[in-house]
A and B are shown apart, each in its own frame.
Chain A
Amino acid sequence: MSGLRVIVGCKRVIDYAVKIRVKPDKLGVVTDGVKHSMNPFDEIAVEEAVRMKEKKLASEIIAVSCGPTQCQETLRTAMAMGADKSIHVEVDAATYENLQPLHVAKILAKVAQDEKADIVFTGKQAIDDDCNQTGQMVAALLDWPQATFASKVEKANGDLTVTREIDGGLETIKVKLPAVLTADLRLNEPRYATLPNIMKAKKKPMAKKKPADYGVDVAPRQSILKVEDPPVRQAGSKLDSVETLVGKLKDAGLVPS
């Protein structure tokens, strides 16, 4: 198990602290001038990969991001955290709006093969689309085992022991390598990039590629019909008696009269 090669998928998303606003044309959300950052779950994946490298389990970490030019900032953050090099797969802004997990999974699978990776690590889901599909699809495309929602990753004689967060609690599984891992919230707390590391990251190699280089067609397979705000919450009212409450419920047709 000397020196695993780890690919980490990093998606550039609107920062989680930003208040999202729907565009006037109702076909998307406002992204211009809005703060973007690395998907928090991907940050956790990068952090875990860096810790694996510090423990000498991993030998090289390659961060990958698919999207427009600004994704390079996300990759620089990954390299400032400790990734050794990165690959920016350029997708223009318009196509990016309809880029789906299947497209990204095909790209990551090809990257993993080209780079002879042992682990493909992503966040469990992106906070903009909440798809929770990319990691799983990569595993299927590569026919690799998958350990998703990982909250603990340990090595165990050439394999990995992964604790997963599932509905009923925690599940611990043994996973043969090569494998796909997806990071859940409690896996770790990501480090902040320090100024010296940000400076060093500027010198780390970043390869610029296109989806065609990997033989992947990213033409959209779906179109967004409508994006809407959730309905505004109506004010409640205080009622003075149980009878009034029952009366109102009956009027609203919520209980049989």
Chain B
Amino acid sequence: MYLSKCIRFCLQQTARTVSKESPLWKRYSTAAVQPKIDTSFVGALKTIVGDANVSTADAIREQHGHDESHHAVAMPDVVVFAESVDHVSKVSKLCNDTKVPLIPFGSGTGLEGGVNALQGGVCLDVTKMDQIVQVNAEDFDCTVQPGVMRLGLNNYLRDTGLWFPIDPGADASVCGMCATSASGTNAVKYGTMRENVLNLQVVLPDGRVIDTAGRGRRTKKTSAGYNLTNLFLGSEGTLGTITEATVRLYGIPEKTISAVCHFNEVSEAVDTVVQILQCGIPMAKLEFLDDSAIDCFNRFCKYDMTVAHSLFLEFHGPAYGLEDQFQSVKELIEMNNGFGLKQASDADERNRLWKARHEMVWACTARIPGSKPYSTDVCVPITNLPEIITKTKQMVVEADVIGPMVGHVGDGNFHIFFPCDHSDTETFKKIKDISHKMAVMAMELNGTCTGEHGIGIGKRDLLVAEVGEETLGAMKQIKETFDPNNIMNPGKVFF
């Protein structure tokens, strides 16, 4: 049902005529591209990457036509596996010359339909480029190719005492995390991808290969020219294909304390968070789970936690001083009527706790077997958090849907993972309604409709409202400059 709506929308776009009077960037940029995938095109692809690296098999196309969101599968016409930057460059050029859509594909763990091939075309799977190009341990940086996944990187680094702390939960590809400007549970201490990428190698739609900070540069700061690195961060595959990323590393924390506590009122939990941050305590993780989420958590991960609004906390730091931080937070929790504060006793229990937290998406969808996660991702300034969480919780309760709330409240960011079954149209409508209202509320409270998952397919209308016509126009100008034929992931971010 959602897919047919998408198709209808795309067809509407083809009918719009281009006005010759309005500036280039004011025309609706998504003239629907008619893919010319015929045997000669597939043959041209095979010449570039080799026969074994091109597939039109249904199963492969289906796998590459969706991510982990609820958006319906939209298969590309052909899947190409690139083994080098040269492959990526030549395939991009071919697609640009023939005006065929091109969608880069990494781990397929996105949550906003970023890889769904709404207009068919070529899905460019870059995961065969899986080298960790270099690790400069004493400079705290490393360079990776698109096939390197976050957990694999941390595994490789373990003997150096360093880690890559951005933790979106899924085992996402590092370059994919660049494309969506990912974040996660550790952002409150270590920041998001925006603060942690030093350089990117990007293949532009016409095949040109650029290094956003210059080849081999890996400095902590630079004022040289425009900040292209941060332009491509979060561009969701609409401006080019990332083929290498140089990222910042951090020392593995000397000591870690994890703890859980509970509250009877949502406002008490959120007030505690605001106060902790006001005190300047450098939390490593500060996560909120509402009672509905704890219920899912208990069922799925076989835990026996008190079913109440909860905060999961983690402190990272040197061995001395960490207990003091913990004591300060303990006092704040008690001041806000928190109860049941319990430290995880050892590493195994800590790992179990955070693993379960990261499986929340699945825990929520497990409540309705066969459902997919419809995730919301609003982010507001910390002081506006109490209002939006309380009002959202009210909406969920009134609508009588399963809407577990889970969030990186330390950044003012929280999610609702609605288990969503498209065939249950009534519930789906309610979910979309709440989700939309949340985003509107967030924007009214100086916030954003997406803190870390990206715009993808489902939030294009919200982007328009969030940034306004002028800024949107500026963004589209950039898109037109880099990708005049609109081959890069058409239909995402913008209509």
Contacts and interface: CB of A to CB of B under 8 A. Distances in A.
Given A17-B152, A189-B347, A189-B351, A194 B159 contact: no
A38 B100 CA distance: 48
A122 to B, nearest CB: 19
Given A17-B152, A17-B155, A192-B252, A197 B161 contact: yes
A195 B152 contact: no
A77 interface: yes
Interface string A28-54: 000000010100000000000000000
A77 B318 CA distance: 20
Interface string B126-164: 000000000000000000000000001001101111110
Given A17-B152, A17-B156, A35-B156, A195 B347 contact: no
Nearest to B255: A194
A194 B156 contact: no
B381 interface: no
Given A194-B251, A196-B254, A77 B348 contact: no
A196 B158 CA distance: 14
A204 interface: no
Contact of A195 (B155, B156, B251, B348): B251
A80 interface: yes
13 contacts: A15-B156, A17-B152, A17-B156, A188-B348, A189-B348, A192-B158, A192-B161, A193-B158, A193-B161, A194-B252, A195-B161, A196-B318, A197-B254
A191 interface: yes
Interface in B233-254: 251-254
Nearest to A51: B346
Interface of B: 152, 155-156, 158-163, 251-254, 318, 347-348, 351
B255 to A, nearest CB: 9
Contacts of A195: 161-162, 251-252, 254
Nearest to A36: B159
A198 interface: yes
A191 B162 CA distance: 13
Contact of A194 (B152, B155, B254, B347): B254
Nearest to B250: A195
A198 B159 CA distance: 9
Nearest to A18: B156
Contacts of B253: 194
A49 B252 CA distance: 21
A194 to B, nearest CB: 5
Nearest to A54: B346
Contact of A191 (B163, B318, B347): B347
Of the four ranges (under 10, 10 to 19, 20 to 34, 35 or more), the interface on chain A belongs to: 10 to 19
A73 B160 CA distance: 11
Contacts of A197: 161, 254
Contacts, number: 39
Nearest to A191: B347
Contacts of B152: 17
A83 to B, nearest CB: 14
Contacts of B158: 37, 192-193
Contacts of B251: 194-195
Nearest to B132: A35
Contact of B161 (A35, A188, A198): A198
Contacts of B318: 196
Contacts of A73: 159
Contacts of A189: 347-348, 351
A42 to B, nearest CB: 13
A198 B163 CA distance: 14
A197 to B, nearest CB: 7
A36 to B, nearest CB: 10
Nearest to B151: A17
Given A17-B156, A189-B347, A189-B348, 7 more contacts: A77-B159, A80-B161, A192-B161, A195-B161, A196-B254, A196-B318, A198-B161
A35 B152 CA distance: 13
B352 to A, nearest CB: 10
Nearest to A35: B156
Top 8 closest A-B pairs, CB basis? A195-B161, A195-B251, A198-B161, A194-B252, A194-B254, A192-B158, A192-B252, A193-B161
Nearest to B155: A17
Contacts of A37: 158-159
Interface string A190-211: 0111111110000000000000
A125 to B, nearest CB: 20
A188 B347 CA distance: 9
Contacts of A80: 161
Contacts of A35: 156
A188 B252 CA distance: 19
Residue of B253, B347, B348 with most chain A CB atoms under a 10 A cut-off: B347
A152 to B, nearest CB: 12
B108 to A, nearest CB: 20
A188 B351 CA distance: 11
Nearest to A38: B159
A212 to B, nearest CB: 30
Contacts of B351: 189
B54 to A, nearest CB: 15
A19 B160 CA distance: 21
Contacts of B159: 37, 73, 77, 193
B147 to A, nearest CB: 12
A169 B162 CA distance: 37
A78 to B, nearest CB: 11
A43 to B, nearest CB: 9
B252 A193 contact: yes
Nearest to B351: A189
A192 B351 CA distance: 13
B319 to A, nearest CB: 8
Residue of B159, B252, B253 with most chain A CB atoms under a 10 A cut-off: B159
Contacts of A191: 347
Nearest to B162: A195
Residue of A191, A195, A196 with most chain B CB atoms under a 10 A cut-off: A195
Nearest to B158: A192
A37 B158 CA distance: 10
A15 B348 CA distance: 23
Interface in A162-205: 188-189, 191-198
A195 B351 CA distance: 20
